[in-house]
């Protein structure tokens, strides 16, 4: 098939690779280059970088606004049997996609977790299973008909970064399945149940705190669900550290929530009498390190307290 690809984030790279192998890419749309790093160097999106290296002869555009007459007419002029949209980052107007077979890969089992942060939200909520959905594009965000879905178990020690990578590599097979069905005229359109919709709002730095009074499973889920961004911050002694990774612990404790009950292993008491084990932490202005390295460097002792709120900076 001839395929137009619209995407920006790294989530779509494995699928673009597969499409380039099995089909003909007639054009790519991605977000404009943005300043990145300490030097503020203009940097292409992951899709833009991969396309420049591997598909130098394929036209690529990077519009600030895709729905202008100029860009709409250009993209619609590209000869395509299907448009594949993955983590593009702009709303696609009805005039743009009218009479086109345009499909979107979304990282959740819709209608659960529509919105900007489906991977984070699934982990933070303690969902045991998530997956990908291929949907049509609707006026309302992520509300299109479901064409296919795949599932994946969320392991207790799985961070959002880990789940992102696994789901991104599940995507190519699911998109290939739908395109094959399109060729054979066997696509089935399943309307989403509006009573089962949940919203995955965009994450912000303000979300990066944890309440150790919560049950251990939810404390663990929040730590892992917000890795790598915005990441959990907590107070320890006179500094604020990031907690990057954790897993459930078998230790039980009647100590107040947030108490370090095993200094060597980084086990922290939670509100339900159960605990979590901290695996990776990051002190201020330092690289992330495993708990043992952190604890050894500070002679951490059992009974010390970890606070799930930020320590104010001294004036």
**pLDDT at res. 274:** 98
**pLDDT at res. 310:** 53
* Residue 270 and residue 276 in contact, taking contact as beta carbons nearer than 8 Å: yes
Q: What is the mean pLDDT of residues 291-304?
A: 97
pLDDT beyond 80 at 315: no
**pLDDT at res. 39:** 84
pLDDT per residue over 147-201, tens digit each? 999 999 999 999 999 999 999 999 999 999 999 999 999 999 999 999 999 999 9
pLDDT per residue over 30-88, tens digit each? 999 999 988 889 999 999 999 999 999 999 999 999 999 999 999 999 999 999 999 99
Domains in the chain, CATH or no CATH each:
2-200 (3.40.50.170), 205-307 (3.10.25.10)
pLDDT per residue over 127-146, tens digit each? 999 999 999 999 999 999 99
Give the separation between CA 196 and CA 108, rounded to whole angstroms: 13
Q: Are strands 41-43 and 24-29 parallel, antiparallel or unpaired?
A: unpaired
pLDDT beyond 80 at 307: yes
pLDDT per residue over 239-286, tens digit each? 999 999 999 999 999 999 999 999 999 999 999 999 999 999 999 999
Q: Which residues contact 39 (CB under 8 A, 6 or more apart)?
A: none
Reported confidence tier of residue 314, pLDDT bands at 50, 70, 90: very low
Taking the model in full, what pTM does it have?
0.95
Reported confidence tier of residue 308, pLDDT bands at 50, 70, 90: confident
**pLDDT at res. 215:** 97
Give the separation between CA 164 and CA 168, rounded to whole angstroms: 6
* Residue 7 and residue 85 in contact, taking contact as beta carbons nearer than 8 Å: yes
**pLDDT at res. 67:** 98
**pLDDT at res. 127:** 98
**pLDDT at res. 38:** 80
């Amino acid at each position: 098939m001839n395929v137009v690809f619209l995407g920006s984030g790294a989530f779509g790279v494995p699928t673009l690779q597969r499409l380039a192998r099995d089909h003909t890419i007639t054009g790519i749309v991605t977000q404009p280059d943005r300043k990145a790093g300490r030097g503020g160097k203009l940097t292409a999106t992951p899709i833009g970088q991969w396309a420049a290296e591997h598909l130098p002869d394929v036209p690529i555009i990077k519009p600030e606004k895709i729905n202008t007459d100029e860009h709409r007419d250009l993209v619609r002029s590209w000869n395509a049997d299907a448009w594949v949209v993955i983590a593009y980052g702009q709303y696609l107007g009805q005039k743009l996609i009218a009479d086109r077979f345009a499909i979107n890969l979304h990282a959740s089992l819709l209608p659960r977790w529509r919105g900007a942060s489906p991977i984070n939200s699934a982990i933070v909520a303690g969902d045991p299973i998530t997956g990908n959905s291929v949907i049509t594009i609707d006026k309302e965000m992520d509300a299109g008909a479901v064409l296919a879905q795949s599932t994946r178990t969320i392991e207790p020690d799985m961070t959002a970064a880990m789940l992102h990578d696994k789901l991104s590599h599940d995507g190519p097979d699911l998109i290939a399945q739908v395109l094959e069905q399109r060729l054979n005229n066997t696509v089935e359109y399943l309307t989403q149940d509006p009573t089962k919709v949940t919203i995955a709002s965009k994450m912000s730095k303000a979300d990066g705190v944890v309440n150790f009074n919560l049950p251990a499973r939810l404390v663990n889920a929040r730590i892992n669900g917000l890795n790598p961004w915005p990441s959990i911050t907590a107070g320890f002694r006179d500094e604020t550290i990031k907690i990057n990774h954790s897993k459930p612990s078998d230790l039980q404790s009647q100590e107040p929530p947030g108490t370090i009950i095993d200094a060597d292993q980084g086990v922290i008491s939670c509100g339900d009498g159960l605990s979590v084990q901290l695996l990776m932490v990051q002190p201020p202005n330092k690289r992330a390190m495993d708990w043992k390295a952190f604890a050894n460097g500070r002679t951490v002792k059992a009974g010390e307290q970890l606070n799930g709120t930020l320590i104010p900076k001294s004036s």
